[in-house]
Amino acid sequence: MSATAPAQNESRTLTGAEIVLRALKEQGVEVIFGYPGGAVLPIYDALFQQNAIRHILVRHEQAAVHAAEGYARSTGKVGCVLVTSGPGATNAVTGLVDALLDSIPIVCLTGQVPTHLIGNDAFQEADTTGITRPATKHNYLVKRIGDLARTVHDAFYVARSGRPGPVVVDLPKDILLTQGTYEEAPREEHRSYRPQTRPDAESIRKAVALLKGAKRPVVYAGGGVINAGPEASELLTEFVRMANMPCTNTLMGLGVFPASDPRFIGMLGMHGTVEANLAMHGCDVMFNIGARFDDRVTGRLNAFSPGSKKIHADIDPSNINKNVKVDVPVVGDAGQVLRALIEAWKADDAEQDREALANWWKRIDEWRAKDCLRYEQSGSIIKPQHAVKRLYELTRESGRETFISTEVGQHQMWAAQYFGFEKPNRWMTSGGLGTMGYGLPAAAGVQIAHPDALVIDIAGEASILMNIQEMGTLAQYRLPVKVFILNNEYMGMVRQWQELLHGSRYSESYSAALPDFVKLAESFHARGLRATDASQLDDVIREMIAHPGPVIADICVDQKENVFPMIPSGAAHNEMILGAGQAGGVAGVTDEGRVLV
């Protein structure tokens, strides 16, 4: 009997595997990313006998989680993963930690040895709940068939509620084979986990008072606003425009505020813009919504925005005052916080200091005029910045809805700097964990969710090899993902740090035996393209976009190019190293190109 049995038979007993699938269907799951093995074969057998849920066979369990992350981030739904016991579960751990740090809702179903063998070092046994406890928001080990359906329902509730995150449900094989009755998802409020979503009115009042009285305000928005849904991004845009305040985004928050809006001052942090970092340093009131004061944003904590009053709105109360002490904490869902803030702002009779605000914008525009992302494309060698900028411009020219994923490294930062995002949920990248190998499987997950969209993985030649086997997934499911490799033959960010911080001692950062990516693409039934000269770049990008199937485009770029601006490790966020020729005229810049304000 399948999990999609006729309604008149719903009361009869089902196997545990069928109960799992019925619970997934009730939770709205349409796609599972997984890889079979002995402990989960009962679920795979039940999948074979139904048509409600589609299964995508990846080539590695880590990739299954990243694909589910891409699916979740681009849709706002919970991503679903199915892996077997032992190595299947342990291979998924990197993806689970990635989802935990970036607040991505994932439910990962892991197989387990039969209950009577747990703890006996049985074949393909691992202590999955022990291993994944620090890697997940929560996890479960199901030992009774009567607990199975309720546990799956709980897992989805926990994954998507409050601060989203990954949840593991460990399923012993005997539980999957045992007969039981199905229990529908509870309709009442969860008995123990009830995260606060509505902000406290007094906190909102204090926030409005600070912001209206600010002479040098900054709005600092992160991925939490994206997690709150599209309406939250619309409300953020409404508030920033209404209050005429500068807005900066974290790496995870790109797209939450339109990049083309003149109030957007760019990404902040280690490779953020001069205007964003100096505005954060010089502001008198900072409004942080949906960001966690990550170390890549703050730089040295004791020098971070030292003169500002800080408002921090976050759905996770444990994030508040964890890294940076704030003056006005606001606990709540980002969308509800912004709605309450706008209402309170309009109801408040106090006026902003328009003259001070105009002077603040004048100062920001002076920083912006330094054009810290300026680069020079001349001659035949392709500058990586130019490659990303032309990719951005030609995708816009195509008129297609575009989603971007990245691997991790220099190419990731260039993508963040030069590819403008107007909407949320179009940018998939590994922020907190910095997982090389994330981008290709994430792009596959995005393409599954958006079959008609243009999905591009901006990659490095080192990162792409971490999960290159997922080209097989693209081939099997005819997913037209485009892989755009900025190939400098180095682990680029490692090489950059070695050059700037370790006396140019390039220890093990050169890739001495790279594959021919064109032939590699062809071996995976994809199209391979290559640009070695700047004159070839546009034609390769256009051909990549136009091709109806998967493509690997090998873009051979300047090997010596570095990502600037850059805040060195251990420096303050107003101490930036700029590119050659960019330091002149910025107040407080040393001869070495470091900005000191």
Quick one: CA torsion of 107, 112, 115, 121, rounded to 10 degrees? -140
Mean pLDDT score, 353-372: 97
Place of tokens 């969209």: 453
What per-residue confidence (pLDDT) applies to 579?
Answer: 82
**pTM for this entry:** 0.95
Point out the domain boundary residue: 123, 150, 180.
180
Clarify whether residues 40 and 168 are in a common domain.
yes
Clarify whether residues 172 and 217 are in a common domain.
no
Q: Which class for 507: exposed (0-12), middle (13-18), buried (19 or more C-beta within 10 A)?
A: exposed
| Cβ contact 107:167 at 8 Å | yes
| Cβ contact 279:250 at 8 Å | no
Place of tokens 């305040």: 245
Residue 314 sits in which domain range? 201-369
Cα separation, 225 vs 254, in Å, equals 10
> Using one digit for the tens of pLDDT, what is the confidence trace for 314-328?
999 999 999 999 999
> Using one digit for the tens of pLDDT, what is the confidence trace for 63-81?
999 999 999 999 999 999 9
pLDDT-derived band of residue 419, with 50, 70 and 90 as boundaries?
A: very high
Write the DSSP assignment of 293-350 as a string of letters: --HHHHBSGGGSSTT-EEEEEES-GGGTTTSS--SEEEES-HHHHHHHHHHHHHH--P
Q: How many distinct structural domains can be found in the chain? A: 3
Answer whether residue 566 is part of any domain. no
Is 124 a catalytic site residue?
yes
Q: Is pLDDT at 37 greater than 50 in this prediction?
A: yes
> Using one digit for the tens of pLDDT, what is the confidence trace for 165-203?
999 999 999 999 999 999 999 988 888 899 999 999 999
Mean pLDDT score, 33-41: 98
Answer whether residue 585 is part of any domain. no
Instruction: Give 271's strand partners.
Output: none
> Using one digit for the tens of pLDDT, what is the confidence trace for 211-270?
999 999 999 999 999 999 999 999 999 999 999 999 999 999 999 999 999 999 999 999
Clarify whether residues 11 and 113 are in a common domain.
yes
pLDDT-derived band of residue 355, with 50, 70 and 90 as boundaries?
A: very high
Clarify whether residues 294 and 173 are in a common domain.
no
Clarify whether residues 269 and 408 are in a common domain.
no
What per-residue confidence (pLDDT) applies to 405?
Answer: 98
Among residues 245, 252, 471, 493, the one annotated as catalytic is: 493
Tokens of residue 516, six digits: 């021919």
Clarify whether residues 467 and 331 are in a common domain.
no
Clarify whether residues 218 and 170 are in a common domain.
no
Clarify whether residues 210 and 170 are in a common domain.
no
Answer whether residue 590 is part of any domain. no
What per-residue confidence (pLDDT) applies to 12?
Answer: 75
Q: Is pLDDT at 156 greater than 80 in this prediction?
A: yes
What per-residue confidence (pLDDT) applies to 591?
Answer: 40
Among residues 173, 309, 310, 383, the one annotated as catalytic is: 173
Q: Is pLDDT at 351 greater than 70 in this prediction?
A: yes
pLDDT-derived band of residue 1, with 50, 70 and 90 as boundaries?
A: very low
Cα separation, 371 vs 348, in Å, equals 37
- CATH number at 305 reads 3.40.50.1220
Mean pLDDT score, 48-58: 97
Q: Give the closest residue to 593 by CA, choosing from 440, 372, 362.
A: 372
| Cβ contact 333:235 at 8 Å | no
Longest dimension (CA), the chain: 80
Clarify whether residues 439 and 524 are in a common domain.
yes
Answer whether residue 378 is part of any domain. no
Cα separation, 183 vs 360, in Å, equals 59
Tokens of residue 562, six digits: 């570095």
What per-residue confidence (pLDDT) applies to 570?
Answer: 85
Answer whether residue 349 is part of any domain. yes
Place of tokens 């409020």: 189
Answer whether residue 160 is part of any domain. yes
Calculate the average pLDDT of the chain. 94
What per-residue confidence (pLDDT) applies to 371?
Answer: 94
What per-residue confidence (pLDDT) applies to 343?
Answer: 98
Mean pLDDT score, 98-123: 97
Clarify whether residues 250 and 390 are in a common domain.
no
Is 493 a catalytic site residue?
yes
Mean pLDDT score, 329-337: 98
Q: Give the closest residue to 216 by CA, choosing from 366, 372, 363.
A: 363
**Share above pLDDT 90 across residues of the chain, in percent, rounded to a whole number:** 91
Clarify whether residues 79 and 219 are in a common domain.
no
Q: Which of 129-133, 302-306, 451-455 has the lowest mean pLDDT?
A: 302-306
Among residues 10, 123, 476, 519, the one annotated as catalytic is: 123
Answer whether residue 596 is part of any domain. no
Clarify whether residues 437 and 335 are in a common domain.
no
| Cβ contact 548:332 at 8 Å | no
What per-residue confidence (pLDDT) applies to 582?
Answer: 59
Among residues 18, 27, 33, 61, the one annotated as catalytic is: 61
Phi, psi for 524 (deg, rounded to 5): -100, 20
Among residues 50, 124, 196, 377, the one annotated as catalytic is: 124
Is 173 a catalytic site residue?
yes
Is 123 a catalytic site residue?
yes
**How many C-beta atoms surround the C-beta of residue 474 within 10 A?**
24
- CATH number at 156 reads 3.40.50.970
Quick one: CA torsion of 260, 263, 269, 275, rounded to 10 degrees? 110
Answer whether residue 234 is part of any domain. yes
What per-residue confidence (pLDDT) applies to 7?
Answer: 45
Q: Provide the strand spans (E) within 332-421.
A: 402-406
Is 470 a catalytic site residue?
no
> Using one digit for the tens of pLDDT, what is the confidence trace for 492-517?
999 999 999 899 999 999 988 999 99
Run of H or E residues at 531: strand 527-531
Tokens of residue 63, six digits: 């990739």
Mean pLDDT score, 51-59: 98
Q: Is pLDDT at 581 greater than 70 in this prediction?
A: no
| Cβ contact 340:330 at 8 Å | no
Q: Is pLDDT at 362 greater than 90 in this prediction?
A: yes
Point out the domain boundary residue: 148, 180, 212.
180
Phi, psi for 425 (deg, rounded to 5): 70, 15
